Amino acid sequence: MTSTTPLPSWRPGVTRDRLLAFLDAARSVPTSDRVAYFDNDGTLWCERPTYVQFEFFLDALRRRVADDPSAGERPEFAAVLSGDPAQVGELGLARVALALAGLFVGRAPEEFAAEVRAFMATATHAALGWPMSATVYQPMLELIAELRRLDFTVGVVTGGGTEFVRAVSEDLYGVPAELVVGTLIAYDFERDPSGRPVLRRAGRMLGTANEGPAKVANIQTQLGRRPILAAGNSGGDREMLEWATAADRPSLALLVDHDDAEREYAYTGRAETLTETEPITETASRLSWSVVSIANDWETVFPR
């Protein structure tokens, strides 16, 4: 039987109380301004021991190398296949990520999305042994549901690849593709032999990685609506959370603190492409954000 209690997977306490107070206060905000944006990795689903998108590209790389062993000799691919984070770090995450994205150069958007969905249909989390699609956070799904009951527009603003998240956001979170903002890969406009126009993935980024100040700029340029609730888990989300709470109306910044080694992982989230001046948990304390302790605030972590 479906629970009628709001946020049933959130334990009683300060964090849940602040969430409920915000939801109540948000009723005074015009519907057009009820906007919430969530980071994806580490905020809506598990990002350890590796990012889901990395696992997708690793799977594609292994298939490529099986067909053409010489492909594995490329330095970026050799570093990834070694499984040694130090080798990847020496080359730089941005360089390695762009090389992996190059595995799909020339694919149409629909083809890439189909590849993502096929991967997600069979992929298993390496440590938990569950389907990858089951590693979303149940409490966050409940929060999204409550926001929608109040006619919030809910979007995903991620440091991950836009097209990857768009391929799964509707199924996992009920977020349509047009409400996903992430790191962008360029497309080339071409014509097939019959003269029909087609789009093909290119091997270059548009702009920079969608972290830090870029998240706020991309929200404005791509979505045009400022959030009054923002949720994240790392330094790459800092500016988005600051921007949400600077609104002159009820607002809330949520920081997910991964402090539950027994049910998930224990670590401090960090930006992948930015240099941070302080740990994000210290930033949250200084700015009086609502910190979500997975260990203490969530009765249930995953929807199983």
At 158-214, the pLDDT tens digits run 999 999 999 999 999 999 999 999 999 999 999 999 999 999 999 999 999 999 999
- For residue 92, the model assigns a pLDDT of 87
pTM to 2 decimal places? 0.95
Count the helix, strand and coil residues of the chain and give each as a percent rounded to the nearest 5: 45, 20, 35
Residue 12 burial by Cβ neighbours in a 10 Å radius (0-12, 13-18, 19+): exposed
Judged by DSSP in three states, 83 sits in coil
The CATH number that domain 14-48+130-297 falls under is: 3.40.50.1000
- For residue 189, the model assigns a pLDDT of 97
Angle at 95 between CA 223 and CA 239, to 5 degrees: 35
- For residue 280, the model assigns a pLDDT of 96
Q: Which amino acid is at 209?
A: A
- For residue 134, the model assigns a pLDDT of 96
What are the residue ranges in the chain where pLDDT is below 70? 1-3
| Residue given tokens 């791509």 in the structure block | 222
The rounded distance, in Å, linking the Cα atoms of 159 and 220 is 16
- CA 165 vs CA 78, 113, 215, 222: distances in Å: 26, 9, 15, 15
Task: Quick: pLDDT tens for 23-36.
Answer: 999 999 999 999 99
- For residue 93, the model assigns a pLDDT of 83
- For residue 2, the model assigns a pLDDT of 53
Query: Who contacts 58 (Cβ-Cβ below 8 Å, separation ≥6)?
Result: 50, 80, 100
Q: What is the dihedral of CA 219, 172, 273, 202, to 10 degrees?
A: -80
- For residue 273, the model assigns a pLDDT of 84
